[in-house]
Every structure is written in structure tokens, then in C-alpha cells.
Structure 1
């Protein structure tokens, strides 16, 4: 087996250390013993974008906020789905993530960060959301393994009642809050509905070929 090579490390503000590994042509981002991302498993992150974009059909010049660049799967899928009048704001808290995208993972990034429709913001997506008012047609969150603060405790506020209220306020009428998760969470489903969203929960596969572990995406539509 090809050995795994450590390419770089990054400290998550208020959290633990991320490590970027490469094995052959594959990349992995790891937190402690948790593999957060793998370049071979992009299906559910792409579905986060495509399924959201499909729910925005008919909107002119939609503005999407993507929380967490990761390996860029969600961003690239959204760019491929949306027309030239769309705008995508990407909030990424860890600068090394972007450095990796422009460096060792540049081929994987495929120039998505340089697309004229993209505005990259080096900031906490929770702070970006709280500064906004009826600004976005969709907010896409993939900053943890689910609706809890795995990478940093402060991410819990994104999924709390106050965090969901802030997201709702940041969305335009009929806007969508889409949240990726490695698994189901009945309490979060109830909390999302209680925050005034119309809730849809979808099960998607980790791999783009329809195989691999089952992941969950919540779509909360602002009533």
C-alpha cells in the first residue's frame, strides 16, 4: 500500500489541529482520528450544492453563502449548476485551507476560487451570517461532521436556536438553509422546524457513484 504522507498542518481557531495527508493522488484532511474529508468521497458534498441549486430554480441572480471551503466540492458543484449571474460567497475560517487549495491541491481546486462569481471571505461563517439581513438565497453549511461543534466548540452556535434565527434573518423570503451531516440527528430536525423553517431531510451517498456511507442533508426553507 502507498504510504500516507503528511503535507501540512493548520490550527483551527478555538479548536484542534487539522492535518493534510496525501496518498498517491488522493488527499485527506484529518482532525485527531476523524477523517473529515477525502478527495475520493465527494458525492454528498456535491449533492449539498446541486440539490440546493435545484430548489432555487427560477431565481434571478441568486446569492449563495457557502460555509467552509473544505476541498471545494460544494463550491465547484454550485458553479457548474448556476448561471453566470449567480454570486457565491465562501466563508473559510482557516487560511491554510485556502493555501492548500492554491498549493498542493490546486489541480483538485480546478481554479474555482478564481471564478468571477466567487467572493472569498476569510472569516467565521457564523459571524458572516449574523452581519447579514435578507442577503442570501441560500446558506450552505459544511463546517463540521454534523450539527455539533466537532472541529471547534464555537460552531455549536450555528445549530442552536439563536444560530438558526440568525440564519433565517440572513435569508431572503423563501431562502434555503442547507446543512450537511455525516448522520441523522432528530433533535436538530425538530430544532430546525421550531425555528420557523419548512424542513426536508435527504439521505445521500458519500461517493458520487451512489455508493459509500449514507450522509444526511437538511433543507430548511424560510417560511
Structure 2
């Protein structure tokens, strides 16, 4: 079997953690340098797809929907959102690491079908928290996949997004009847209750990492 080859590295702002982009034939992997586990693999994206489809089906029929995605990753959530949305939609992806955008415009983009080439998509290079703090009824859907979930893994600054202050900022950034969705590697009852205390109706949905019925169980919180 062919071995993975490193084709790119990047440093996460703030913490200084290094990301490694690896390729083996048509398979891609992103890892944190110095660890053996994967952050992402291009063959395992069922829950990233579900983050987009579960949220976007809630806003079907809205005129000129605007969607914010926190975290570009390997582009699968963006691709699924564009597939679910009409031609008048606009999707902004906030990505903290410039190299991740470059990877998606380069060889990694083939994994998700180069969604950044879609005219409906644009990239905000920076922390999605910036857009949430400045937002005021801007978005029909906000999809957040910036870390491992409420228990941050890659960057301690990401914890703000899951805090009461971060939830309140996201709530303020939603349009009336908007939908807020969070991805997590696993369940956390305390976060469900935190969303409810903020005034949201909440539905935690268990989804499979690979495809329906296959792979690890991840969680998507839908809040409205």
C-alpha cells in the first residue's frame, strides 16, 4: 500500500500548533504535528456533510439565503451547503489558517469537488468569532465546525464560540427564523442545556462519521 506523503504544513495562529497535510493517491489527511491521530480524512466526511444538509434544509425557500460556515477544513461542509442551496444563496466561510484556503484551491480541493470555485462561495480569512461579534441579523444559517466540539482541542480561543457570550453573539447574528448548528466529535449534555438557557429550542442529532450506519457517532446541535 502506498504511504502518505507530506505536501503542506501550516501554523495555527495563537497557539502555534502546526498542521500537516498528507496525501496518499487520492486520499488526504490533516494531522497535528507530533501526534498520530487525524483531525480530518477525505474519506470520512459524513458528519461534515450532515452539518450543512441538516441546517440548510431548515432555510429552503428563504429568498437569497446567507450562510456562514466557521471552518473550511477539507471543504465538505461548504460543498454540501452549496449542493443544498439555490442559485441565489451566498455562503461565506471563515477560515483562520490561510494555508488551508490555499490547500483547498490546490490539490486538496479535488476531494470535495473544488467548492471554492463556486461563484456563491467566498472566504473570510480570519476567526469566525470576529464575524459573530460584529454580526446583527446577517445570516439565515450559521454552521460552526471550528474545533473538536465544546471541549476544544486545537486552539483554546475556540472555547469562546461555545461559551454563553459566544452563543449570544451567534444568536444576535441570526436573521429571524435563522438556524444555528454546531458540529462535535461527541455528545455533551451541558452544552445542550447552555443553548436552552440562551433561549434556543435545541435538537442534538447523532450522525455517523463515514455515512449512514457507518463510522463513529458525531453530534450536530441544531438551535433555533
1:120 corresponds to which of 123, 129, 146: 123
Matches within 5 A, 1:48-67: 48-67=51-70
Matches within 5 A, 1:83-98: 83-98=86-101
Matching residue of 1:192: 195
Q: In the alignment, is residue 100 of structure 1 matched against residue 96 of structure 2? A: no
Shift of residue 150, structure 1, vs aligned partner:
1.2
Task: Specify every segment of 5 or more residues in structure 1 that has no aligned partner in the other structure, as ranges.
Answer: none
TM-score by length of 2: 0.95
CA deviation map 1:94-124 (0-9, x unaligned): 0010111112213224231121111211010
CA distance in 1 between counterparts of 2:78 and 2:109 reads 14
CA distance in 1 between counterparts of 2:191 and 2:70 reads 18
Matching residue of 2:177: 174
Conservation of the 8 A alpha-carbon contact between 2:60 and 2:85? no
CA distance in 2 between counterparts of 1:117 and 1:103 reads 19
Shift of residue 208, structure 1, vs aligned partner:
2.7
TM-score by length of 1: 0.95
What is the total number of aligned residue pairs between the two structures? 221
CA distance in 2 between counterparts of 1:174 and 1:193 reads 16
Conservation of the 8 A alpha-carbon contact between 1:148 and 1:155? no
Distance 1:98 1:216, change over 3 A: same
Residue aligned with 2:201, SS: strand
Q: In the alignment, is residue 21 of structure 1 matched against residue 22 of structure 2? A: yes
For structure 1, which segment, 139-148 or 98-107, has the greater mean C-alpha deviation from structure 2 after superposition?
98-107
1:136 corresponds to which of 126, 135, 139: 139
Residue aligned with 2:62, SS: coil
CA distance in 2 between counterparts of 1:146 and 1:6 reads 26
Shift of residue 43, structure 1, vs aligned partner:
0.6
Over aligned residues, Cα RMSD in angstroms? 1.2
Runs of 4+ in 1 over 6 A off after TM superposition: none
Conservation of the 8 A alpha-carbon contact between 2:64 and 2:88? yes
Matching residue of 2:48: 45
For structure 1, which segment, 21-30 or 182-191, has the greater mean C-alpha deviation from structure 2 after superposition?
21-30
Task: Specify every segment of 5 or more residues in structure 2 that has no aligned partner in the other structure, as ranges.
Answer: none
Shift of residue 209, structure 1, vs aligned partner:
4.9
Matching residue of 2:216: 213
Matching residue of 2:11: 11
Q: In the alignment, is residue 2 of structure 1 matched against residue 2 of structure 2? A: yes
